[in-house]
Every structure is written in structure tokens, then in C-alpha cells.
Chain A
Amino acid sequence: MSRIDFDIAHLLAGSLVLISFLELYQDRLYALLNVFAAHALVLAASVAWQAFVQDAPHLYVTAAIALTFKAIVIPVALHRIIVRLGIHREIEKVVGVGTAMLAGMGLVALSMVVMLRVTHGADPLAREDLAFALSVVLLGLLMMVTRRNAVSQVIGFMSLENGLVLAATGAKGMPLVVEISVAFSILIAFIVIGIFLFRIRERFDTVDVQVIDRFRGERR
């Protein structure tokens, strides 16, 4: 592929990582939602670009899904939930921004080390993509474990999944990518509905010992 294609792909993937950092930084839920929408947007862009570069039309479907579902539907739904649960002005971090950022740095560094060290044979595009994808995955996971309430954890999970899609699309000619992205969208839909139906906020994370005993423990 030509130099310019590579650079654009690189740029998009890199900005995806950057936005993940922004998500980590956010502590207001609305802001977080917006950042995530941006995240999905960039993902859609990068997937589309891959589709173009690899001229694999089916990837456009994935891009479309990312765009409509993740960048629009889900954020709106979550917005509703936030309103219903009345948690819009919550500060709900386990660790401070600084620590989270530092950890994120570490994770990115780790993924770079792990990935760039390995794939000498593979073409640079896939290699870069993989490195970035791994960092996005790790950052998403970090987000899930450093956030208290359901919504932001769902967002964490989705950005993790964005990383996956990035990797999948980066893997040239990989079958089933579309199916997988669809499956994941269903998964996420389940989660969101779950939150919506059962108001599981406290079941994600709580410090209330009675609740723990009643739910997670042996019934004494």
C-alpha cells in the first residue's frame, strides 16, 4: 500500500487511543458519553478507511454499524438511563485522574512493547493497528475497573470492543468480521437493556456489606 494510506490509517488508530485517554480523563457522565460518541465516530472512520484500502466492501457494513449503533443509538439510550437513574452529576471514580492516566500510559507502553517486538513478519499497517488496538482494549478494561457506575463501565466495555473491531478490520482479509461486530452489538444491547430493566447500578459495584452478603455471599 502507499505511504499516504498507511499514514491515514495510523492517524485514525492513534487518535482512537488518544480518545480513549480522554475517556479516562472524563469524570462527568455526559461528557463521557460525548467523548465515547467521538470514539465510535473515529472507529467508524478508520474501519471505512480500511474497507477502502483493502477494498473489502463488507467492512463498510461494520463501519455503518459502528456509526449508527455506537455513535448514535447507544449514547442516546445511555443518556436516557442517566436521566432516569438521576446520576448525571456523579463523581464516581475509584482512582484519581492522575493515577488512571499514569496507568493508561503504562498500558500503552506495555502494548507497544509486546506488539512491536513481535510481528516482524507482518506488514507495518497491521502491526501498527494491532499495537493501537491492544492499547485501546487495555484502556477500555482499565476504564471498566476504575469506574463505579454501570454506565461508564458499559462505555468502557464498548471502547474495549472498539479496540477489537479495530484489530479485526486491521487483520487483512479476516472472515466473519461483520458477524462478529453484529454479535457484539447484540451483546452490548443486552447489557444496556439489562441496566435499563433491572437498575443494576448497585450490582456493578457497591461497598454496602449487607448487599454483598445478600447477593454475592452464602445466605447466612
Chain B
Amino acid sequence: MTLTIALVCAAALLALAAVGVIMGRSPASTRVVYGASLIITAMSFIAGLAHLLGATTPVSLTLPLGVPWLGAHFRLDALSAFFLIVVDLGAMSASLFALGYGEHETAPRRVLPFYAAFLAGMTLVVLADDAYTFLFSWEFMSLTSWALVMSHPRVPENVRAGYVYLVMASFGTLTLLFAFGLLAGPDGLYTFAQMRAAHPSAALGALALILALIGAGSKAGIVPLHVWLPLAHPAAPSHVSALMSGVMTKVAVYGFVRIAFELAGPPAWWWSIVVLAVAGATTVMGVLYALMQHDLKRLLAYHTVENIGIIFIGLGLSLAFNANGLPFAAALALTAALLHVFNHSLFKSLLFFGSGAVLTATGERDMEHLGGLIHRMPQTAFVVLVGCAAISALPPLNGFVSEWLTFQAILLSPQLPSWGLKLMVPGVGALLALSAALAAACFVKAYGVTFLGRPRTPAAERASETDRFSLAAMFFLAALCLVVGILPGVFIDALAPVSTALIGARMPPQIGAQWLSIVPIAASRSSYDGLLVFLFMTLSGTLAAYAIHRFASDRLRRAPAWDCGYPDLSPATQYTAMSFAQPIRRVFGTFVFRAREQVDMPPPGDMRPARLTVRITDPIWDFLYAPLVVGIGAVADWLNRLQFLTIRQFLSLVFCALVILLLVLAIWS
């Protein structure tokens, strides 16, 4: 039943795409499409929720589509239900946001159809239960999002972004094709059911896992396959950026979980080492890249890379525990990862919405041209602040909960027998802690430079508060961030069926714990209570406020800021994003990005301004992708000379081919 509803919703979304094409010209189309998609995804959300909480057994369904002798298999189990919820929650809020935001769209015909189709694609990926349907929906998802990235094709960066995105997406899909080819075997057992039954050999499963890590990882944005992500996500309209960053990457995580935990058979202990190594690198590289950015949306995109790293750390730990027969620890790590999936989808969407609101208000994405928006758009500023606090893992918000759980999982890992893991996990823990701190720094920068201080450009001065739909969407997400933060137990318990299905164990039920706190293993070991922390903070804060305003002065004077004796400082004297990041850049950037600063100080009497230039190189692009591009170009040039031969030379090609084949024959026996 639930599955049917979800599928019907997907079909409805596809139909909606057609509607978008047909009535794209009419002004009402925006309202219609986004409103309809809001309703449809809400229904499918309810279906997913009902299945996750209600049903115990997975439901499946086969349609006579796709590969003829195979049919299209669909299945709704706990895992796909959870990810269906994530997808639809993101889709709902994005549609709500777009009801207002979409009005500013200059070319709705390039957005509306693909938007609906994109949602349908993501829904189908999590429902698919055979290799063909899965890859079909997967690539369909990439294709539609590509079209959305290209929705403003006159901007050269967008075209480049779309290109890189599509190539990387095809690469990922082909890698997954290999993975499924392995799992399906020579006689083409393409349905997941058959793969589950097949029990692949250890080596085969390992290879499949690596391929899945590459294939799904390239879409999720793990380093070094992330290059497309910071290009493509910002290029799309903001609500689509939110979907791509907050939801599509999660669908990729789903793909990885599906293969690594279910199809690839029982894990070997060293799988987790691979995953953890990649994840640790992804986490830190992502946040360091983000710190170097001053384009708001690109910064957010790089933070997606970081959070994907955190998620994969959780998954890697879970694999490790699972391989070493510690199911409960595995359940803890998996739950942490999945909870972070959920949380990240919330606050990343929220932040992208915020950047969209800023974009519509000022027309600027570059933080260096913003500032002081908190005065002009206070509500947006407030919700974005919540988002920033949440993604910086500050209690009592949701980001902290999942990171805390991940830390708890790390603290369990001394029980792991293998030395490789013993030495690996603490390092990963350090990287995680480092990235958490750096993320906080990065969002101080992002928020402070964008919303605080004084406006740096007239555009920022003229900004005005965004529309009510967008605000509604953002407040909705912010509220969810808080709720998950203070009532994590509820959500952890909701995730129990997933870990039970994948690992056969679950975290202890949290609802019973005193004061709704969460207790991963035992109360004596560790516990956290977001609700109480929240109450305490509000209580003590209000107490202090009351006391001071009651017993002490509450008078207040406005005066110019302290200017060191130089009157009327221009906004240009404020700290910019680049200057804010300078200390951290000096600490980390010098060897990661080979960041170089050049100060050009004119001699006294010379009137030209002094200038400081910072040169940052992207190591991964330079060492991995640039050579590839150059190489292909070289080969293409070299082969291209064959286009310019004379007929006689072409004939001699034929002649040589003939002689060679005859020689082969002569030598054959």
C-alpha cells in the first residue's frame, strides 16, 4: 500500500513535469508546479513515515517495465523508507520555498519540468529493487539535475559546471554499472533479491564495495571525486541547490549503504579502513576548501563535502564493528551516520534557502559584496543563524547530536581487534574533531561577513526581507533542527528498524530514558539531554537578563563605533571573508593549497594603492584532473592527424589491415 502510494506519487511528479512543459509559458505555472509537488511529496512523505513506523516487513512490487525479461522491481523496506522520508522532507520544504522564490525565476520553462522530474528520479532511486531500475533512476536523477544546473546557460561558469557534472555523473554511473555487473554475475541476476541470495565471494564483494564507494561516492562528493559538486550545486537555482546538496547527496549515500551493507555480502575488516581513510580526508579537505571560499553557495557546497565525510566516517565505523562481530556498536555508528544524514538534509537545505533569499534580495552570492543584512532581513538572519549553529554542531541543536553519537562510536572502537583499525580510528577521530572546530570557524565567517557588520555594497544596503513562503520554509526547517536537537531520542528510536534490518541489532530504546535523554550504551558510560541543556540555557539566560534589568541599569545609548581616532571609517575597512580566513589559511593553507601571499607595498610618495594578493591552488584538480584533461587533449590531437590523410594513405591503412589479418591467419596454426 505505502509503496503503491509512493510510486503513484513518483508517477504524478513525472506527469507534473509534462504539465510544466506544456503550461510553462503561463505565469501561473510556477505556483501550480511547486504547489502540486508540495502536495504530492507530502503524500509520499506520509507513506514513507507510515512504513518506517508502522510496517515491520518490506513490501515489494514488480511492474512490466524496463528490461523485458526482468521487469521493474520496487521495494520499500526500512532503509528506503527512511531515505524516502529524507527525500520528501527536502522536496516539501524546497517546493514551499520555491513557491515564493520561483517567482523571481527568469526562465521558468527551463526549471519547472526538470524540477518535478528530478524529484521523481530521487524517489525512484530509493524505491528501486533491481540494478536496471536503480541505475535508470540514478542516471535520470543526474540528468534532470544537470538540466537544472544548465537553467541559466548564458553564464559560462554554469555551462562549465554542468559539463563537469555530467561527465562525473556518467563516470559514477558506469562504475556502479561495473559493481552491479559483478554482483549480478555472468547470467545476469539483476534483481537485488537475487543478489542478496547470491552471497558473493569475499574478493568479489570487496571489489563491488570499492566500485560502489567510487560510484556512489562520486555523486555524494567524497574527495577526490568531489570536483563537480562545488561547481554544480551553486550554479543551480537555490532551491535546487538545496535539493542537490541536502538530498541528492543523501540518495548517493543510500546507494552506498544499499550495496555495502546488503548486497556486497558480509564485510571484511579492511573494507572499513578504505572507507574511513577516504572519509577522514573528505571531512577535513571539505571544510578547508570551504574556508578558502568567499562565494556563499560554493562555501555551502564544500561543507556538503565535509558532512558527507562525517557520514561516511559513521558508515565506515559501522562496517568495522559489523565485520568484527560487534553488532551493537555497529548499530550505534550506523544510527549516528543516518541521523547525520537526516540532520544535514535539514540544515543544509535551510542554509541554501537562506543564500537564495540573500541572492534574491541583493543579487549577490559573493560575501565580499554583502554585509549588514541582519538589519534589512532580520527574520532570514535569524533562521540562517539557527542553521549555522546547527551545522557547526553547537548544542542544543541537531548537528551536535549526530556528531556526539559518532564520537561515542569512536570511543567504542578500542574493542576492535585489528591493529590497522586501532591505529586508524583515533586519527579519524582527531580529523573529525578538527573539522568540527573548523566548521564552526567557517560559519562564523560566513554568517558574520554576510549578515553582520556594515553593508559593503549598495546592493546590500537596499536589501529587503524575503517573501513569506520562503520564510515559512526556512522557519519550518529551523524548527525541525531544534526539535531534533532537543528530542533526539524519538528520532533514534525511529531509526531502529533500519539498523535492525541491516545489521540485526539496534540501539537501546531511548524513549524510556529519564528526562528524554539519549543513552547510547549505558547511563554510566555517557548520556546527553538536549532538552535539559536547552531548558537550562534559556532559564539561566532569562534569569540573568531579568536580574540585570530588574536590579541594574537598562539604559542604552547609541554612539559611533570606536574608530581609533580616524573618523567615518568606510565599510571597506571591515574584515572580509578572505582576511577573516587569513590566520587559518596561514596555519593549514600553506601546505594544503600552497597558499602564497604577496604584499605589494608602494614606496613613500607613490600614490598607487598597496595590494595584497593571495594565490591558492587546488591540489586535487592540479594533480588529478588537469593531467587527465591534458592527456586526452594530446591523444585527440595526435589521432586527429588521421583526419587529414590522403586517399592513398587511407588505402594503405586498409592494405595494412588486410596484410596483418592475413599474417594472423598464416601464423594461427
Contacts and interface: CB of A to CB of B under 8 A. Distances in A.
Interface in A162-220: 203-207, 209, 212-213, 216-218
B651 interface: yes
A94 interface: yes
Contact of B648 (A204, A212, A213, A218): A204
A87 interface: no
Interface stretch (A17-25, A37-45, A73-81, A141-149): A141-149
Contacts of B658: 138, 141
Contact of B644 (A141, A142, A148, A212): A212
A218 B651 CA distance: 20
Interface string B610-625: 0000000000000000
A117 interface: yes
A114 B663 CA distance: 8
Nearest to B647: A204
A207 B645 CA distance: 9
Interface in B643-669: 643-649, 651-652, 654-655, 658-659, 662-663, 665-666, 669
B183 to A, nearest CB: 44
A144 B659 contact: no
Contacts of A111: 662
B644 A216 contact: yes
A212 B646 contact: yes
Contact of A217 (B643, B654, B669): B643
B646 A204 contact: yes
A153 B648 contact: yes
B655 A141 contact: yes
Contacts of B649: 205
* Chain B, interface residues (CB within 8 Å), range: 10 to 19
A203 B650 CA distance: 12
A87 to B, nearest CB: 16
B386 to A, nearest CB: 57
A213 B644 contact: yes
B659 to A, nearest CB: 7
A101 interface: no
Contacts of A207: 646
A144 B644 contact: no
Nearest to A206: B646
A12 B651 CA distance: 29
A153 B649 CA distance: 12
A82 interface: no
A61 interface: no
B655 A145 contact: yes
A107 interface: yes
A205 B643 contact: no
A144 B665 contact: no
Given A144-B651, A205-B648, A216 B666 contact: no
Listed residue (B645, B652, B654) with the most chain A CB atoms within 10 angstroms of its CB: B652
Interface string A81-121: 00000000000001000000000000100110110010000
Interface in A36-88: none
Given A216-B643, A218-B643, A144 B662 contact: no
B644 A110 contact: no
A94 B655 CA distance: 15
A193 B646 CA distance: 21
Contacts of A94: 648
A203 B647 contact: yes
Nearest to A137: B658
Contacts of A206: 646
A146 B654 CA distance: 13
Contacts of A114: 662, 665-666
Given A138-B658, A144-B655, 6 more contacts: A107-B659, A117-B669, A145-B651, A148-B648, A204-B647, A216-B646
19 contacts: A110-B659, A110-B662, A110-B663, A111-B662, A114-B662, A117-B666, A138-B658, A138-B659, A141-B651, A142-B655, A145-B652, A145-B655, A205-B648, A206-B646, A209-B644, A213-B644, A216-B643, A216-B646, A217-B644
Interface of A: 94, 107, 110-111, 113-114, 117, 138, 141-142, 144-145, 147-148, 153, 203-207, 209, 212-213, 216-218
